[in-house]
């Protein structure tokens, strides 16, 4: 019995000694935590670099590559320590509404790092933190312009959704006989100054959620004075009147920078492939991301992946029923004939399913994306979409993921008639849609190609376009004032018909979003008669914001709430 007791005591003493030995000294503990923190900071820098360069949240494979680099860093920096475990996990992103009075998405990323002594791996410390990558899509706004925006209208205009301009925002309403006026039902932000130059009592601004009615909105006429940046008390009064829903540079609103790698030339998004492009520029070009693309020589290619990602289908522009090249029509605004490459959307959908099934239907990265480059060395070449009112292409993947139908061209783009919206029954569409071009002009459902220079402007019918739009601005010369302006509503999108509006027919309705990032290269100057402009009804609808749309600006890594824990084994 005594021998057993002695042995038990000896075992307890030995266990206590091991426990004491396993207890890290203060200097060891500090060094372990310091190493874990250093590895985390390196990880944070690697995440920021990756996201800024690639413009997307890292995938599982990307995280593995980042972790491999951090392991190398740790082994080179701390010879007496071992990086035991490292886990980088990106969680599902979610939408919030408190970035510069607008919405942005948050992608939570968790980082877990465990560091141990090389001589005794039982002695370790762990650092667990959560970081947030914040980002916006180009189409989280109903209207976004990278430059000045001139919203002075002569007929009714309703905008449902947020509006942002990186340059001066100029507003103005119509006379009382032309409907309700200019109404913006959503956050209105500007990285410069906001001015109202016409009928301030007909310009209504409001917060998100208010209805289109004078009772739920406040005009820019404040007790007989214009309430804009010319008012000495603009900063305080604007917050008081619109409850923070209308803000300019004096409120701290900053310019939202387009995609960093093409910030000096955003037109590159829609340009042809170029062997001199950097990998970052090549990656954002739609011409390198399309399931089907048509080059200026008329060759129609399909995406097949691999070292040579595009393959000639054998078809040519003009030789297939969905892409004809033998039409002309008169554009009275530019005073010239336009020779379009006409895309019959319904016929293309059938052709693509049969001839480009992998790239346009099955491969998620390129599915639904059509890129067309008509020649630019001939006068007024363009691309025109027609017969797109019924079922546009919309490849859907597990989880409901879809790019929808994305049409991109470096030429001027015309949209003819109802688009993504069945006119006869006004059937709602659930398909994503994006139309991108050097400039975009809408033709009403009543348009025909038979008009000539000697005829008056054709009369437009009511028409609805359910798509997001990515376009360029031009310089507009207003005949009534003999002045030139950039960033005008008449470019977003353009029109070449007489749209009577205000209950007389010829109303233009757009469901989706509009973004203008560049100055148009073709038809860069237009003569505008505001009397022919339509009543405009713009409704922001995020479902038309195709996942193929580019991110607005680089991710912003921050650490609003972080956790730092230590563990011992």
H or E, element range at 469: strand 468-473
| Pair 364, 440 in one domain | yes
Alpha carbon distance 290, 368 (integer Å): 8
- pLDDT 10s digits, 66-107: 878 877 777 777 777 777 666 776 666 655 555 544 556 677
pLDDT at 16 over 70: no
Q: Do 11 and 18 contact (CB within 8 A), yes or no? A: no
Q: Which residue has the higher pLDDT, 142 or 23?
A: 142
| Pair 157, 123 in one domain | no
Among 244-253, 373-382, 425-434, 450-459, the least confident range? 425-434
Domain end (from 119, 136, 153): 136
| Pair 315, 286 in one domain | yes
pLDDT at 347 over 80: yes
**Per residue in 115-152, is it b (16+ CB within 10 Å) or e — as a string?**
bbbeeeeebbbbbbbbbbbbbbbbbbbbbbbbbbbbbb
- In total, the chain counts a number of residues equal to 569
- pLDDT 10s digits, 58-74: 777 777 888 788 777 77
pLDDT at 185 over 70: yes
DSSP state of 287: G
Alpha carbon distance 18, 122 (integer Å): 11
Among 16-30, 286-300, 550-564, the least confident range? 550-564
The CA-based dihedral angle spanning residues 501, 502, 503, 507, taken in that order and rounded to the nearest 10 degrees = 40
565 found inside a domain:
no
474 found inside a domain:
yes
Alpha carbon distance 505, 508 (integer Å): 9
pLDDT at 4 over 80: no
DSSP state of 141: S
Range picked from 30-44, 344-358, 480-494 for highest mean pLDDT:
344-358
pLDDT at 184 over 50: yes
Q: Do 42 and 88 contact (CB within 8 A), yes or no? A: no
Q: Which two tokens stand for residue 14?
A: 């030995």
| Pair 303, 440 in one domain | yes
| Pair 344, 451 in one domain | yes
- pLDDT 10s digits, 128-180: 777 776 666 667 788 889 899 998 887 788 888 889 999 999 999 887 766 67
The whole-number pLDDT of residue 157 equals 86
| Pair 247, 266 in one domain | no
Q: Which two tokens stand for residue 507?
A: 């109303």
Among 341-345, 409-413, 466-470, the least confident range? 466-470
Range picked from 184-193, 349-358, 464-473, 474-483 for highest mean pLDDT:
349-358
pLDDT confidence bin for 318, thresholds 50/70/90? very high
| Pair 449, 536 in one domain | yes
pLDDT confidence bin for 12, thresholds 50/70/90? very low
| Pair 63, 130 in one domain | yes
| Pair 187, 44 in one domain | no
200 found inside a domain:
yes
pLDDT at 38 over 50: yes
Domain end (from 136, 171, 193): 136
Angstrom CA distances, 285 to 35, 98, 296, 335, 372, stand at: 41, 30, 16, 32, 13
The whole-number pLDDT of residue 272 equals 95
Q: Which two tokens stand for residue 291?
A: 């399931």
The whole-number pLDDT of residue 230 equals 96
Say what angle helices 26-54 and 60-77 make with each other, to 10 degrees: 140
Range picked from 73-87, 210-224, 341-355, 535-549 for highest mean pLDDT:
341-355
In 19-101, DSSP assigns E strands to 81-90, 94-99
Angstrom CA distances, 218 to 158, 245, 327, stand at: 14, 11, 49
| Pair 130, 155 in one domain | no
Alpha carbon distance 193, 462 (integer Å): 34
196 found inside a domain:
yes
| Pair 131, 161 in one domain | no
The whole-number pLDDT of residue 46 equals 82
The whole-number pLDDT of residue 425 equals 47
User: Following DSSP, what letter does each residue of 148-209 receive, concatenated?
Assistant: -EEEE-SS-EEEES-EEESS-EEEE---TTSTT-EEEEB-EEESS-EEEEE-GGGEEEE-TT
Alpha carbon distance 463, 441 (integer Å): 13
| Pair 412, 528 in one domain | yes
pLDDT at 213 over 50: no
Nearest to 203 by CA among 229, 178, 221: 221
The number of domains in the chain is 3
Range picked from 34-43, 129-138, 211-220, 456-465 for highest mean pLDDT:
456-465
The CA-based dihedral angle spanning residues 354, 355, 359, 360, taken in that order and rounded to the nearest 10 degrees = -50
Structural domain span for residue 121: 25-136
pLDDT at 569 over 60: no
Angstrom CA distances, 220 to 227, 307, 351, stand at: 5, 58, 52
pLDDT at 212 over 60: no
Beta-bridge partners for 440: 413
Percent of the chain scored above 70 by pLDDT? Answer: 75
Alpha carbon distance 499, 527 (integer Å): 16
In 296-367, DSSP assigns E strands to 299-303, 310-316, 323-324, 329-331, 336-344
59 found inside a domain:
yes
Alpha carbon distance 469, 491 (integer Å): 12
Average pLDDT over all residues of the chain: 79
Domain end (from 232, 251, 270): 251
Alpha carbon distance 417, 433 (integer Å): 15
Q: Which two tokens stand for residue 511?
A: 């469901």
**Per residue in 275-303, is it b (16+ CB within 10 Å) or e — as a string?**
eebeeebbebbbbbbbbbbbbbebebbbb
94 found inside a domain:
yes
Among 204-208, 407-411, 565-569, the least confident range? 565-569
243 found inside a domain:
yes
20 found inside a domain:
no
Phi and psi at 532, nearest 5°, equal -95, 5
- pLDDT 10s digits, 508-541: 788 778 889 998 988 776 666 656 677 788 777 7
């Amino acid at each position: 019995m005594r021998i057993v007791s002695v042995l038990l005591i000896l075992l307890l003493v030995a266990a206590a000694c091991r426990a004491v030995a396993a207890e890290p000294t203060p200097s060891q503990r500090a060094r372990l935590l310091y190493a874990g923190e250093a590895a985390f900071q390196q990880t944070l820098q690697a995440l920021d670099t990756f996201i800024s360069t690639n413009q997307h949240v890292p995938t599982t494979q990307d995280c593995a590559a980042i972790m491999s680099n951090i392991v190398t860093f740790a082994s080179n920096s701390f010879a007496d320590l071992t990086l035991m475990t490292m886990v980088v996990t990106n969680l599902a992103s979610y939408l919030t509404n408190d970035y510069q009075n607008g919405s942005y998405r948050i992608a939570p990323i968790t980082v877990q790092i465990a560091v141990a002594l090389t001589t005794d791996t039982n002695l370790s410390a762990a650092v667990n933190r959560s970081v947030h990558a914040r980002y916006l899509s180009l189409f989280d706004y109903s209207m976004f312009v990278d430059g000045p925006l001139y919203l002075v209208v002569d007929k009714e205009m309703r905008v449902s959704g947020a509006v942002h301009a990186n340059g001066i925002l100029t507003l103005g309403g119509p006379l009382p006989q032309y409907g309700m006026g200019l109404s913006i039902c959503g956050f209105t932000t500007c990285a410069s100054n906001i001015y109202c130059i016409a009928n301030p009592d007909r310009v209504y601004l409001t917060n998100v959620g208010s209805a289109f009615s004078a009772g739920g909105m406040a005009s820019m006429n404040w007790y007989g004075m214009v309430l804009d940046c010319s008012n000495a008390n603009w900063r305080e009064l604007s917050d008081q009147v619109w409850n923070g829903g209308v803000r300019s540079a004096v409120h701290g609103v900053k310019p939202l920078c387009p995609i960093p790698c093409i910030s000096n030339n955003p037109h590159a998004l829609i340009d042809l492939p170029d062997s001199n492009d950097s990998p970052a520029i090549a990656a954002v070009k739609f011409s390198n991301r399309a399931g089907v693309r048509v080059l200026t020589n008329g060759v129609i290619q399909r995406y097949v992946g691999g070292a040579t990602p595009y393959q000639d289908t054998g078809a040519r522009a003009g030789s297939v029923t969905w892409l004809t090249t033998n039409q002309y029509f008169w554009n009275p605004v530019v005073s010239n004939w336009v020779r379009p490459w006409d895309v019959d959307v319904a016929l293309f959908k059938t052709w693509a399913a049969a001839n480009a099934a992998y790239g346009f239907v099955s491969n998620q990265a390129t599915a639904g994306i059509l890129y067309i480059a008509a020649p630019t060395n001939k006068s007024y070449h363009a691309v025109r979409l027609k017969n797109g009112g019924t079922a546009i292409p919309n490849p859907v993947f597990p989880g409901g993921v879809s790019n929808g139908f994305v049409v991109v061209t470096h030429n001027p783009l015309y949209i003819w008639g109802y688009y993504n919206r069945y006119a006869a029954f006004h059937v709602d569409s659930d398909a994503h849609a994006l139309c991108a071009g050097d400039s975009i002009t809408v033709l009403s459902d009543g348009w025909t190609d038979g008009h000539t220079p000697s005829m008056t402007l054709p009369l437009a019918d009511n028409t609805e376009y359910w798509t997001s739009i990515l376009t360029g601005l031009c310089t507009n010369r207003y005949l009534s004032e003999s002045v030139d302006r950039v960033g005008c509503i008449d470019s977003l999108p353009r029109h070449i018909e007489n749209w009577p509006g205000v209950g007389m027919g010829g109303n233009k309705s757009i469901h989706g979003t509009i973004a203008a990032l560049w100055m148009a290269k073709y038809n860069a100057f237009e003569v505008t008669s505001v009397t022919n402009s339509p009543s405009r009804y713009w409704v922001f609808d995020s479902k038309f914001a195709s996942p193929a749309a580019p991110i607005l600006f680089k991710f912003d890594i921050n650490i609003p709430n972080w956790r730092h824990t230590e563990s011992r084994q």
